[in-house]
Structure 1
Amino acid sequence: MYPHWMVTFISTENTSYSINVNGQTIQSGTVVGTQTIDFNITGSTASVIIGLGTHVYKYPDEIIASTPIQKYYAPKPPSLAYTVSQYELGIAKAFVASGFAIAIALFTARKYLLEKEKREVMRI
């Protein structure tokens, strides 16, 4: 059960009611027609007794949830894609690959520049 409770009484004639939580009366009175009563329960367990006329409804030792219902029924988060060590290893591999790419680019550009120098006419 959750800590916020709502009790709705429906009666066609004047009927007395009472709500007891852990042996203490939190509200009592009479009802004709429909009446809704909200109350909060503190603690991890509670015993609630609701009386309406000659009928008595007992909820002994109810466990009170501390997790909100929105969080309890929320979808599970996706699993992790990788660990921190895998992430750092990926960054290191990217640096090594970048170094090889720069070295290959330098050798390729050097070959192109030397060929271009040979084709140019030297001015004296």
Structure 2
Amino acid sequence: MFSSQEERILQRLAGLDPDLMAYIRDFAYDTVYERPGLDLKTKELIACALLASLGSPGELKTHLRGAMQAGATEQELRETLLFCVPYLGFPRVVAAFSQLADLQARQAAKQAQQPE
């Protein structure tokens, strides 16, 4: 489920609490995310909208990255966040766009550091 981020995510969660990590891994990812009916990209886009609604910037950034890794385009991410405006209001969506911009800046910096 986590692809290349799995080890980092599980280590972070285990550092908070090993039982919490196990609950999240076993229920959220191994049970909920593995259900059929929606593809991973759609699940990640929904997760982004929900995390924007909760005002959870760290988790939002993780799922923005996850959505991109699952094939979501920048336009799909932007449209998902814009769709939240009438339901969440501008402050939450502005904060979500800030997380997207930060993620994109970090990715651009990584690409600039890679030798061609």
Is TM-score (shorter-chain normalized) higher than 0.5?
A: no
Q: What's the TM-score bracket when you normalise by the shorter of the two chains?
A: under 0.3
Q: Which has the higher helix share?
A: 2
Larger Rg: 1
